Chains A and B, each alone.
Chain A
Amino acid sequence: MGPGTVLGMTRIDKNPNGGNTAVTVRGLVKHYGETKALDGVDLDVREGTVMGVLGPNGAGKTTLVRILSTLLAPTAGEATVVGYDVLRQPRQLRKVIGLTGQYASVDEKLAGWENLYLIGRLLDLTRKDARSRADELLERFSLTEAARRPASTYSGGMRRRLDLAASMIGRPQVLFLDEPTTGLDPRTRNEVWAEVKSMVGEGVTVLLTTQYMEEAEQLASELTVVDRGKVIASGGIEELKSKVGGRALRIRPVDPLELRPLAGALDALGITGLATTTVDPETGTLLVPILSDEQLTAVVGAVTARGITIGSITTELPSLDEVFLSLTGHKASAPQDAVPTDTREEVAV
């Protein structure tokens, strides 16, 4: 996105970079009694791009995806997908979308292949086409070996992949992915990311929700940050990143015994403004929050000065909490539930 980007406002310029809009959302509201799950959301997704919707628990991400995929009627406002109105043209709309919900929606009692074949038939493919499409997608999502086993025997990652495959059967123009990698281990998460990227390569428009800045950065070109049913920021990912600032340095000494002494040494340095470092014994790494390039230089200098062998140094993106803090000046509404990027590995099941 370009100059039309706004921060903390709801109106978004139409297609600043040209191209057709695949998803248009205007003033979308969904109330559950007192709860305002969506409170006037505006959003545009250009054809062939990936829009990331970033927000903490309860922000309204799932509500948005369910309205866009016609599972839920909005209280007010309007939304169209490829020009089809969610309320007035649900059947047309369903022909052009694919949905992978937050919780896997595969039929556990059916084999993976049967799940895909059924959906092919429901999408009006001929028996022959439904069969070959099922084979093809199982192959592509590395599920061929498990094709005849009931989905109840699949691991979490396999179910997710089957779910993704299911949403691809009808060759959708627009794909909705609701937290596609939450709860997956890093390896499986990378596989899912690779799949999403290859779908985008085929020209599919994607709207994906996530709680991880890192995931948004990996997949999305544009980002909408939501909190308590409101858009609090939107724009190109690079642009938002530069606004958000704050990185973290992850240092892995070759000898894990060096972890604690190194942490102590960095804290003792007393670099101005440097928050305390955290030791992550699981991965044998040290996480040092960095606010400026000067700090980065100072930390690297200190590490070098100790003369220990370093396995790796990487910079990481800010956690969701940090994004919110810098965008809004307050913490995300449910910080105790929100999983920051840098601790995800420990949380993943």
Chain B
Amino acid sequence: MSAATITATPAATDAHIPLRNHFRHTGALIRRNLLWIRQDPESMFDAVLFPVIFTLLFVYVFGGSIGKSLGGGQEAYVQYVIPGLLAMMGMNMSQGVGTGFNTDFNSGVMDRFRSLPIGRGSVLIAKIVVELMRMLAACVILMIVAVLVGFDITSWIGMLGAVGLATVFGSALMWVFITLGVTMKSAQSVQAMGFLVMMPLQFGSSIFAPTDSMPGWLQNFTEYNPLSSLADAARGMMVGGPVAHGLWVTLAWSVGLTAVMAPVAIHKFRTKN
């Protein structure tokens, strides 16, 4: 811009949006995101069916044989795998935020929002809030199914802690998916990308089976895989065992991811047009 463009309106001050209004906008947008779910209940399939299917699949298909190597049977494997699945829920459910934003940008809805006198942050926060609700719902459903297949919760406080930790890690991952959702062309590619990233992280971890029988290179990978730390910490909290190491590593990852990716995601989100 050249200096010549500064003419008319001498004090070109912009309107200020009061905090109350930000809250109202965010509330209205949360309502909108919840209506999405009501309108399209299939969008809750991941939150409802994943916990059920994965629990049944792993407990009844692999439970017997892996349980034997754990020195027990299927019951021993239930105790092992449920905290792992909790870690997996935290990661899986963080993906929806990316596809959701992608749809909004592509459908022109974001243009509508941006032409209104609201802060863009309201749109961002409303989506994150609803995705966190979905994540918590998935965790609750997992816990119900777990109890039904015979999971023995030894510590309720530990269980709350584990759900909390999975949520903290999941919300840190959300920044990665927001970045993907805002930068990638289509919701499908966001999903495909998420799948590509999450598959190896899930299976190359201590979520489903102990890592000591894996080849050395894979063990190295699992050791640095934050999902292993999260699964180990959740396991320690819920059924007993070491907690501290996994907890700190998971928290460090969460803080690190947020510190690096949140500014990137927010910048991409704010400047996209």
* Chain A residues packing against B (C-beta within 8 Å): 26, 66, 69-73, 76-78, 80, 83-85, 87-92, 94-95, 97, 99, 101, 103-111, 114, 118-119, 121-124, 150, 166, 170
* Nearest 8 interchain pairs by C-beta: A105-B108, A121-B28, A94-B117, A105-B112, A91-B15, A88-B12, A78-B5, A99-B115
Alpha-carbon gap, A83 to B29, bound state (A): 30
**Contacts A76-B1, A92-B15, A95-B15 given: A122-B9 contact, CB under 8 Å?**
no
Cβ B5 vs Cβ A77 within 8 A: yes
Q: Mind listing 12 A-B residue pairs with CB under 8 Å?
A: A77-B5, A80-B8, A80-B9, A91-B16, A97-B115, A105-B109, A110-B35, A110-B39, A118-B29, A121-B27, A122-B28, A124-B21
Alpha-carbon gap, A103 to B9, bound state (A): 33
B270 on the A face (CB < 8 A): no
- The distance from the CB of A89 to the nearest CB of chain B, in whole angstroms, is 5
Residue from B13, B25, B35 within 8 A of A122 (CB atoms): B25
Number of interface residues of B (CB under 8 A): 36
Alpha-carbon gap, A269 to B111, bound state (A): 55
**Contacts A88-B12, A110-B32 given: A71-B17 contact, CB under 8 Å?**
no
Alpha-carbon gap, A129 to B123, bound state (A): 22
Alpha-carbon gap, A70 to B111, bound state (A): 10
Beyond the given pairs A80-B8, A91-B117, A107-B32, 4 more chain A to chain B contacts, judged by CB atoms under 8 angstroms and listed by A's residue number, are: A106-B109, A107-B107, A109-B39, A121-B24
Cβ A118 vs Cβ B28 within 8 A: yes
B212 on the A face (CB < 8 A): no
**Interface set, chain B 182-237, CB cutoff 8 A to A:** none
Cβ B112 vs Cβ A123 within 8 A: no
Cβ A91 vs Cβ B5 within 8 A: no
Alpha-carbon gap, A280 to B28, bound state (A): 51
Residues of chain B contacted by A87 (CB below 8 angstroms): 1
- The distance from the CB of A70 to the nearest CB of chain B, in whole angstroms, is 7
Residues of chain A contacted by B114 (CB below 8 angstroms): 70-71
Cβ B9 vs Cβ A94 within 8 A: no
Residues of chain B contacted by A80 (CB below 8 angstroms): 8-9
* Chain B residues packing against A (C-beta within 8 Å): 1-2, 5, 7-9, 12-17, 21, 24-25, 27-29, 31-32, 35-36, 39-40, 107-109, 111-118, 273
Give the interface centre of B14, B31, B118 by most chain A CB atoms within 10 Å: B14
Cβ A89 vs Cβ B107 within 8 A: no
**Contacts A71-B115, A78-B5 given: A91-B17 contact, CB under 8 Å?**
yes
Residues of chain B contacted by A108 (CB below 8 angstroms): 107
**Contacts A78-B5, A89-B13, A104-B108 given: A109-B115 contact, CB under 8 Å?**
no
Residues of chain B contacted by A106 (CB below 8 angstroms): 109, 112
Closest to A83 in B: B9
Alpha-carbon gap, A85 to B14, bound state (A): 9
**Contacts A78-B5, A85-B9, A109-B35 given: A119-B112 contact, CB under 8 Å?**
yes
Residue from B14, B39, B113 within 8 A of A92 (CB atoms): B14
Cβ A103 vs Cβ B108 within 8 A: yes
**Contacts A80-B8, A109-B40, A124-B21 given: A95-B117 contact, CB under 8 Å?**
yes
Closest to B18 in A: A124
Closest to A176 in B: B115
Residues of chain B contacted by A70 (CB below 8 angstroms): 114-115
Alpha-carbon gap, A91 to B17, bound state (A): 8
Closest to A90 in B: B14
- The distance from the CB of A316 to the nearest CB of chain B, in whole angstroms, is 33
Cβ B273 vs Cβ A71 within 8 A: yes
Cβ A150 vs Cβ B273 within 8 A: no
Closest to A107 in B: B109
- The distance from the CB of A167 to the nearest CB of chain B, in whole angstroms, is 8
Cβ B113 vs Cβ A101 within 8 A: no
Residue from B9, B12, B25, B115 within 8 A of A121 (CB atoms): B25
Closest to A117 in B: B28
Alpha-carbon gap, A76 to B115, bound state (A): 21
Alpha-carbon gap, A170 to B118, bound state (A): 13
